[in-house]
A and B are shown apart, each in its own frame.
Chain A
Amino acid sequence: AQKVTQAQTEISVVEKEDVTLDCVYETRDTTYYLFWYKQPPSGELVFLIRRNSFDEQNEISGRYSWNFQKSTSSFNFTITASQVVDSAVYFCALSEGALTGGGNKLTFGTGTQLKVEL
């Protein structure tokens, strides 16, 4: 069965520090998709990034970057020069492919609460 582990329950940093949020996944599929979502204090879930299992290139978007490593089944998320507005819960999620029945069911990790303080 697919599984997503976010071992860091809560992280606190001071503004301008870099921070990495870890995500480790388990799947039997060779084709799968990984996602990151942000949940700010207001409660909505905001899509950040989608990555498929065949694309191991790192992704950078402004202060955000993602490191996908199939060898360690990890899809880590780094925020550079963190800001107070980055304070949120971040979820990593996995969608498996055809081998396990297909369909678009997301399995979520339990989330990492990031607190950025002045």
Chain B
Amino acid sequence: NAGVTQTPKFQVLKTGQSMTLQCAQDMNHNSMYWYRQDPGMGLRLIYYSASEGTTDKGEVPNGYNVSRLNKREFSLRLESAAPSQTSVYFCASSEKWASGNTIYFGEGSWLTVV
């Protein structure tokens, strides 16, 4: 019953370093997402992949890149980390891209940029 699995769970980066958050889902879902959670702001969509082979910007894409490696995997890359990217990152997936499809989330990745 893995669902959505993301790694690493915790990471500390220095300003300017790069890193990739990995995500995989085993529910055969078509759509995948990356959200960030900041205190007092709820969750905000960074990027999404409506289906394998496509990716699009969400609400807060600046400073990030994504790769939909295959149907199961969707990675998020920080090329040059900044303190403003200190956040909790959630990968998620849904069966389809259509509105209303339930989105299932991973356990979160806590990232601190110093």
Number of chain A interface residues as a range: 20 to 34
B99 touches A37 (CB 8 A): no
Query: Which of B84-114 touch A at CB < 8 Å?
Result: 88, 90, 92, 94, 96-108, 110
A103 touches B99 (CB 8 A): yes
Instruction: Please report the C-alpha to C-alpha distance between residue A105 and residue B43 in the assembled complex, in whole angstroms.
Output: 11
Instruction: Please report the C-alpha to C-alpha distance between residue A24 and residue B45 in the assembled complex, in whole angstroms.
Output: 20
A91 touches B42 (CB 8 A): yes
Which of A4, A31, A44, A102 contacts B105, CB < 8 Å?
A44
What is the chain B residue whose CB lies nearest that of A29?
Answer: B99
- Say yes or no: is B2 at the interface (Cβ < 8 Å to chain A): no
- Say yes or no: is A85 at the interface (Cβ < 8 Å to chain B): no
- Say yes or no: is B61 at the interface (Cβ < 8 Å to chain A): no
Query: Which of B48-94 touch A at CB < 8 Å?
Result: 48, 50, 58-59, 88, 90, 92, 94
- Say yes or no: is A62 at the interface (Cβ < 8 Å to chain B): no
- Say yes or no: is A8 at the interface (Cβ < 8 Å to chain B): no
Q: Mark A87-118, 1 if CB is under 8 A from B, else 0.
A: 00001010111100011111011110000000
Binding site for A on B (CB under 8 A): 31, 40-45, 48, 50, 58-59, 88, 90, 92, 94, 96-108, 110
